[in-house]
Amino acid sequence: MPLLPIQSSNVIVANGCSGALEIALTALLDPHSIVLVPQPGFPLYQVIVESHGASIVPYRLVPQHDTWECDVSHMRQLLQQYGTRVRAVVVNNPSNPTGAVFSHQHLQDVVQICNDFAVPIVADEVYGDLTYRPHQPFYPVAQVAYEMGNHVPVITASGLAKQFLLPGWRVGWIVFHDKYVCRLFVCLFVCLLVCLFVCWDGIAVQCFF
Ligand SMILES: Cc1ncc(COP(=O)(O)O)c(C=O)c1O
């Protein structure tokens, strides 16, 4: 299977993986919208989501196959229940706090559900490649989605501090794996930068002239 192609125009550098998650979720959310997040899971998802007047709905992680896995039937049930209010499913692999590394088959099941409900995946892969069992390698969700026909948009977030063992280095990134969403995000990001420069110029003019 060919490797997932990645272009530099699909990457945005951020303030750590936390900043990357913030950009990704901010762009997807409206007030009253919903994001499915793993439980137990990293608490930052809730902080970001609620800061936009949106809500998290936790899907269960359950002990299974000598590790922890997403409860896919619970995930499906929540997607059915909340319908189009669900803007994204956060998949954290390898997982904090369970340490689980999802199998290829399990990731296929998760991608299939998101495909069935046309929901993008926000993949928090900040611990990508930090695996300790040779029989449980790390598979990026975006690669699995690509192998399955690339129908599900995947926004991957990661950073230097964990994946590259550089604690304290506040460098992260998001990578878009969807041609339409990618263009939209890049436009949004450029608009934000333009606004910042315009504001900054305004302040400078007020202060110095
Ligand atoms: C699952 C998970 N995602 C993201 C982060 C944030 O990473 P960063 O330090 O690069 O902001 C952490 C940090 O503990 C984490 O555990």
pLDDT digits (tens, 9 = 90+) for 102-130: 999 999 999 999 999 999 999 999 999 89
Which string of DSSP letters, residue by residue, matches 59-75? EEEEEETTEEEE-HHHH
Which atom of ligand 1 is least distant from the CA of 161? Answer: 10
Residue 164 domain-assigned?
yes
Is 157:124 a contact under the CB 8 Å cutoff?
yes
- Ligand 1 binding pocket (C-beta < 6 A) is 16-18, 42, 92, 96, 124, 126, 159, 161-162, 172
Residue 5 domain-assigned?
no
pLDDT digits (tens, 9 = 90+) for 26-83: 999 999 999 999 999 999 999 999 999 999 999 999 999 889 999 999 999 999 999 9
Task: Please give the pLDDT value at position 66.
Answer: 84
Question: Does pLDDT of 190 surpass 70?
Answer: no
Residue 3 domain-assigned?
no
Between helix 104-116 and helix 72-82 the angle, nearest 10°, is 10
Structure confidence at residue 21 as a pLDDT band (50, 70, 90): very high
Task: Please give the pLDDT value at position 59.
Answer: 98
Q: Does a cis peptide bond (omega within 30 degrees of 0) precede residue 97?
A: yes
Centroid of ligand 1 to alpha carbon of 36 (angstroms)? 18
Residue 1 domain-assigned?
no
Number of structural domains in the chain = 1
The model's pTM is: 0.86
Which atom of ligand 1 is least distant from the CA of 159? Answer: 10
Is 127:94 a contact under the CB 8 Å cutoff?
yes
Residue 4 domain-assigned?
no
- What's the sign of the alpha-carbon dihedral 22, 23, 28, 30? positive
Residue 47 domain-assigned?
yes
Task: Please give the pLDDT value at position 3.
Answer: 78
- Say which CATH number the domain at 98 has: 3.40.640.10
**Domain with 58 in it:** 10-208
Residue 49 domain-assigned?
yes
Residue 39 domain-assigned?
yes
Centroid of ligand 1 to alpha carbon of 89 (angstroms)? 17
Q: What are phi and psi of 51, to 5 degrees?
A: -65, -10
From 92, 126, 173, give the residue whose CB has the most ligand 1 atoms within 8 Å, as the site to mutate: 126
Tokens of 145: 């989605």
Question: How much is the average pLDDT of 14-23?
Answer: 96
- How far apart CA 199 and CA 205 sit, in angstroms, is 10
Task: Please give the pLDDT value at position 46.
Answer: 98
